Structure 1
Amino acid sequence: MPLTAESAAQQIQDRLKALQSLIHDIEDERRRNEANINSILRAQEKLNYDDRTTSKVMKNLLKTGLQDAAEEEALIREALLKIQDIRNIRHERRIQARNAGNKETIRRGALMKMLQISAQTLPLFVSKPSEKVPPLCGAVPAESNYIAKPGDMVAALVKGVEDEENWILAEVVQFMSGQNKYEVDDIDEEQKDRHILSKRKIIPLPLMRANPTTDGHALFSKGTMVMALYPQTTCFYKAIVNKLPASATEEYEVLFEDASYADGYSPPLSVAQRYVITYKSTKKVSGGLSGT
Structure 2
Amino acid sequence: MSIFTTSCEDCILWKTLDKMAEVRFLLEERWIVARISSLYNASETTQRKVLMTLPLWIGKPGDKAPPLCETIPASGDYVVKLGDKVVALVVKSVDGDEQCILAGVVCYSSATDKYEVDDMDEEGEERHILSRWKIIPPPQWKANPEADPEALFQKRKLIVALYPQTTCHALIHTPPMQPQDDYSVLCEDTSYADGSSLPLNVAQRYVVACKEPKKR
Q: TM-score, normalised by structure 2?
A: 0.87
Measured after TM superposition, the shift of residue 82 of structure 1 is 2.2
CA shift in 2, pair 1:86/1:271, >3 Å = closer
Match of 1:54 in 2: none
> Are the counterparts in 2 of residues 227 and 238 from structure 1 also a CA contact under 8 Å?
yes
Match of 1:6 in 2: none
Match of 1:150 in 2: 82
Separation of aligned partners in 2, 1:169 and 1:93: 18
What SS does the aligned partner of 1:209 have? coil
Measured after TM superposition, the shift of residue 273 of structure 1 is 1.0
Separation of aligned partners in 2, 1:93 and 1:106: 10
Match of 2:62 in 1: 130
Measured after TM superposition, the shift of residue 219 of structure 1 is 0.5
Match of 2:142 in 1: 209
Deviations 1:129-149 (A, max 9, x none): 100111001111112221111
> Are the counterparts in 1 of residues 28 and 51 from structure 2 also a CA contact under 8 Å?
no
Match of 1:259 in 2: 190
Match of 2:37 in 1: 103
Report the more deviating stretch, 68-77 or 203-212: 68-77
> Are the counterparts in 1 of residues 170 and 186 from structure 2 also a CA contact under 8 Å?
yes
Give the % identical residues.
42
- Give me the CA root mean square deviation: 2.5
> Are the counterparts in 2 of residues 230 and 271 from structure 1 also a CA contact under 8 Å?
yes
Match of 2:15 in 1: 78
> Are the counterparts in 1 of residues 185 and 200 from structure 2 also a CA contact under 8 Å?
yes
Separation of aligned partners in 2, 1:195 and 1:223: 31
> Are the counterparts in 2 of residues 112 and 232 from structure 1 also a CA contact under 8 Å?
no
Measured after TM superposition, the shift of residue 94 of structure 1 is 7.0
Deviations 1:6-25 (A, max 9, x none): xxxxxxxxxxxxxxxxxxxx
Measured after TM superposition, the shift of residue 90 of structure 1 is 5.7
Separation of aligned partners in 2, 1:212 and 1:81: 21
What letter matches 1:72 in structure 2? E
> Are the counterparts in 2 of residues 138 and 219 from structure 1 also a CA contact under 8 Å?
yes
Q: TM-score, normalised by structure 1?
A: 0.66
Structure with higher Rg: it is 1
1:55-70 equivalences in 2 (<5 Å) = 63-64=1-2, 68-70=5-7
1:5-84 equivalences in 2 (<5 Å) = 63-64=1-2, 68-84=5-21
Match of 1:243 in 2: 174
What is the number of equivalent residue pairs in this alignment?
215
What letter matches 2:79 in structure 1? I
Deviations 1:179-224 (A, max 9, x none): 1110111112514211111111110111111122211211011121
Match of 2:133 in 1: 200
What letter matches 2:13 in structure 1? I
